[in-house]
Structure 1
Amino acid sequence: MILLTSSSGFYQCTNKLSLSEQPTGFQIKEFARKNAANALSLANMVMGMASILSSLNGHHHAACWLVLIGYLLDLADGAVARRLDACSPLGAKLDDFADFTTFGVATALLLRTPNLLDIILCICYVMSVLVRLCFFSSGIPFMYRGLPCTYSSSILASASLLLGESMVALRVVTVTMILVILSQNFYPHDRVLESQAWKKVVYAGGVMMLFCSSFPPACVYYLLWSVSYMLFPTFLWSSKV
């Protein structure tokens, strides 16, 4: 009888413990809030890996479009993290890994040909992105040195789609991007989704162009968007609310 009572009490305690460990609605919402930006970074990384596989299998157009989707995701993840007050060291590292995958390796493979010069150029581009991600801080709040690899990748993906088989022109664009990435020029944190309304409209236009427009206008749109940031970073894209 004593044994039965003890067993019953143990069962009740175990049952209460298991019920208490079940996540509540608040815990689920809190988990979603803290990891929304991380989910966007992971999606960016997935786009990069898919682009790498597309390039290796000869699907060049798909590889370029996947990089451009990663471009939109990267512009959104920081805004979501700050909006939800979910910035964390883990999120920053995850964002860097995603950027290196999509805007480093995947973008470099858009230039992949059997030519030795192009292989060297791919390696140089990846190394420039790595240096840029490691040493981007300028010591000045809301500024960093060198063109963000997000924009250089958008330019290269758009140019690659528009130029087609013109490898000479694409090599010139790539060399230019490497030099600008490694430059000591100051570029502002654009914060497209946290700034003036027209910047949000530009972002929304990019989403619409990606899914609703024909091929040439969408490429021109992304190219103009990214080149405008490269040429007029402070005049047009400084973070003003």
Structure 2
Amino acid sequence: MILLSPFSGLFQCTKNLFLRDGSTGLRIKEIARKNAANALSVANMVMGMASIMSSLNGHHHAACWMVLIGYLLDLADGAVARLLGACSVSGAKLDDFADFTTFGIATSLLLMTSDLLDNILCVCYVLTVLFRLCFWQSGIPFMYRGLPCTYSSAILASASLLPGGNQAMMRVIAVAMILFMISQNFYPHDKVLESQTWKKAVFAGGVVMVFCSSFPPACVYYLLWSVSYILFPTSLWSSKV
């Protein structure tokens, strides 16, 4: 028995080490599960900040595509949170901050010029997005009141990338998006990654279009996608369809 005791002690230490490693692994997996959606929200915010810096440095094409990448990330973070059962109040607040950065400030800078009226339009757009994020609750589950700022930003970024696009056209679109966002119309919650296969294919197509960003038709894809949500919100994009 005395001879076996060192081996027993070694066995016990090894067992405790494996148990500790297993517990650490489970803890890491749990942390990753709880923060996967938050990581996507942070990535969305990073895209927004990168778009802001691109706009300030005159890289308009890159700024637009950063907004569109943020658009994809925003559609994914909610789906990931629900899939992993990691929805939280802090996560929702982080998502709002990311949305305001990308779809508020970054998108408004796409409209900025040296003209005073354009700068006033930028301020109005940012305030509208802020209002939209603060008062989006409709009282009806899985419904938005007013157009989600994600889609208005995608339309503005896509239109800005179109060949032959001009500032007058952007002003008209921006005013239209502001009116849609403050409207009392109801829009369905777009669970693109939790719905029909064709919606998932549309999302996958959007990811592919990111790698084709140097080709003008790529922005048309996002434009048609976003406009279809405005024109056919219930018949196409409702999660109940």
TM-score normalised by structure 1 residue count: 0.89
Partner of 1:93: 93
Counterpart CA distance in 2 for 1:121 and 1:222 is 23
Residues 1:121 and 2:121 are matched in the alignment: yes
Gap change, CA 1:164 and 1:41, over 3 Å in 2: farther
Amino acid across the alignment from 1:160: S
Partner of 1:68: 68
Residues 1:142 and 2:162 are matched in the alignment: no
Partner of 2:106: 106
Residues 1:130 and 2:138 are matched in the alignment: no
| Large movers: runs of 4+ above 4 Å | 19-23
Structure 1 unaligned segments of length 5 or more: list them. 1-15
Structure 2 unaligned segments of length 5 or more: list them. 1-15
Amino acid across the alignment from 2:25: G
Amino acid across the alignment from 1:218: A
SS of the aligned residue for 1:240 comes to coil
Counterpart CA distance in 2 for 1:197 and 1:157 is 26
Partner of 1:190: 190
Counterpart CA distance in 1 for 2:164 and 2:62 is 13
Counterpart CA distance in 2 for 1:176 and 1:49 is 25
SS of the aligned residue for 1:144 comes to strand
Residues 1:215 and 2:206 are matched in the alignment: no
Count of residue correspondences: 224
CA RMSD of aligned residues (A): 1.8
Partner of 1:5: none
SS of the aligned residue for 2:193 comes to helix
Partner of 1:235: 235
TM-superposed CA distance for 1:144, in Å, is 1.3
Counterpart CA distance in 2 for 1:213 and 1:110 is 17
CA shift digits 1:120-173 (9 cap, x unpaired): 000000000000000001101111100000000000000011155510011000
Counterpart CA distance in 2 for 1:214 and 1:126 is 28
Amino acid across the alignment from 2:149: C
Task: Tell me, yes or no, if the aligned pair for 1:163 and 1:170 is still in contact at 8 Å.
Answer: no
SS of the aligned residue for 2:216 comes to helix
Gap change, CA 1:197 and 1:22, over 3 Å in 2: closer
Counterpart CA distance in 2 for 1:161 and 1:197 is 28
Give the fraction of aligned pairs with identical amino acids, expressed as a percent: 78
TM-superposed CA distance for 1:240, in Å, is 3.1
1:9-48 to structure 2, matched below 5 A, reads: 24-48=24-48
Counterpart CA distance in 2 for 1:171 and 1:163 is 16
Counterpart CA distance in 2 for 1:142 and 1:86 is 18
TM-score normalised by structure 2 residue count: 0.89
Task: Tell me, yes or no, if the aligned pair for 2:40 and 2:76 is still in contact at 8 Å.
Answer: yes
Counterpart CA distance in 2 for 1:180 and 1:189 is 16
